[in-house]
Amino acid sequence: MKLDTQKIYDITPTVSPKLAVFPGDTPYENSYLMSFQEGHHLSLSKIQSTVHLGAHADAPSHYHANGVSIEARDLNLYLGKVQVISVAERRGHRIAVSDLNTSIQAPRVLFKTGSFPDPNRWNTDFMALSIELIRHLAQLGVKLVGIDTPSVDLADDKVLEVHNEIYKADLAILEGVVLDGVSDGIYDLVALPLKLQGAEASPLRAVLIERD
């Protein structure tokens, strides 16, 4: 992979205390134990936050009692050929197969909805995926689905119907990516979760790389 000659798109929102999280979840906080301003010889800080922060990967243990945690996931799920697909914005709508304007051409798919436009401002009416769509993607051999919203399910879904369908199909999940400056098409995805033992999710630095 010749990164020096290929364009890289950073699809990760900036992590700061302003970054929106689900109401009731833990926002990002960074506090300093040592700092140059306080006369110390180095800067040393700690962080506290939800693991569902900004661009992140859900592990199966987040949505199923028998699911594995994030450090047990195969990294190949989060690396390789990916397709970005725009879907016309319909607030509070679950994306159906009939909403797709192109055929599936990659084993990883990211949906660009524009329904969560500001990562620092929470809105509850973002779009999500549908059970029908997950079944369709699984039949085509897709192994990762992602979306530019905080969840593959609707904000008020307490059953997590799509998460559970994804568990049955053993797909990987990316949520909270930012696709504003990315055109539809085929890219290479690099979106590695941290090796957090026992964690049900992990923040990540997600990038798309233009293919030759």
One DSSP character per residue, 163-193 reads HHHHHHHT-EEEES---TT--SEEEEEE-PP
At 84 the three-state DSSP class reads strand
CA dist 172 and 132 (Å) reads 17
CA dist 9 and 211 (Å) reads 12
Low-confidence ranges of the chain (pLDDT < 70): 1-5
Chain segment 95-137, per-residue pLDDT in tens: 999 999 999 999 999 999 999 999 999 999 999 999 999 999 9
Question: What is the pLDDT, as a whole number, of residue 70?
Answer: 98
Which backbone phi and psi does 129 adopt, to 5 degrees?
-100, 165
Question: What is the pLDDT, as a whole number, of residue 52?
Answer: 98
Q: So which residues are the catalytic ones?
A: 62
Which residues are CB-neighbours of 178 under 8 A, at least 6 positions away? 11, 12, 13, 55, 119, 148
- 101 φ/ψ sector (left φ>0, alpha ψ -120 to 50, else beta): alpha
Specify the pTM.
0.95
Tokens found for residue 144: 């990762």
Q: Are 11 and 182 in contact (CB under 8 A)?
A: yes
Question: What is the pLDDT, as a whole number, of residue 6?
Answer: 84
CA dist 131 and 77 (Å) reads 20
Domains in the chain, please, with CATH? Answer: 3-15+51-210 (3.50.30.50)
Question: What is the pLDDT, as a whole number, of residue 2?
Answer: 56
Strand duo 56-58 + 29-34: pairing: unpaired
Question: What is the pLDDT, as a whole number, of residue 4?
Answer: 67
